[in-house]
Amino acid sequence: MLKEKVESLLNKALEENPSLFLVDFKMGGDNSIKVVLDGDQGISLQDCMDVSRAIEHNLDREEEDFSLEVTSAGATSPLLLPRQYNKNIGRKLQVKTSVGQFEGTLVETSTNSITLEWKAREPKPVGKGKVTVQKKQEIAFSDIQEAKVKLKF
């Protein structure tokens, strides 16, 4: 009963701000509610507060005891939804697949895949030494086991 009410309030809050989207929603047996959000242009503390208020102010603590946590997908959290890749175009990603690991700049996303580019040093085709070559790899969403943004410090 409470879960359906929370889902309904959450969906209404997200409809009011279409650039935000749900990454994860969990509800514990002790009525602990955890909502993880992201946004097409990122997400602010104010966005999280607005969604939290939209849910909390429409629930009656006299009827149900609950705890509510509304957070953003962290910078080091794996990307879970195809929609999260769009805002990370131009950033360096580390992507694990069943055939190996790739690290490169996200240059493109489509409905089914992402495209990474990076530079690699390879032996020259003729003679000694190495040459820098531009590599490109398209990876289907279905092949991605884990993808994270590589942060620069």
34-68, pLDDT tens digit by residue? 999 999 988 999 999 999 999 999 998 888 899 99
Return the beta strands (E) in the chain as ranges: 20-27, 32-39, 67-72, 92-97, 100-109, 113-123, 130-140, 144-149
77-100 mean pLDDT: 94
List of domains in the chain: 2-72 (3.30.300), 82-149 (2.30.30)
Single pTM value for the model: 0.81
* pLDDT greater than 90 at residue 144: yes
Q: 67-72 and 92-97: which strand pairing?
A: unpaired
The rounded distance, in Å, linking the Cα atoms of 14 and 47 is 10
The rounded distance, in Å, linking the Cα atoms of 14 and 22 is 8
pLDDT at 126: 87
90-138, pLDDT tens digit by residue? 999 999 999 999 999 999 999 999 999 999 999 988 888 999 999 999 9
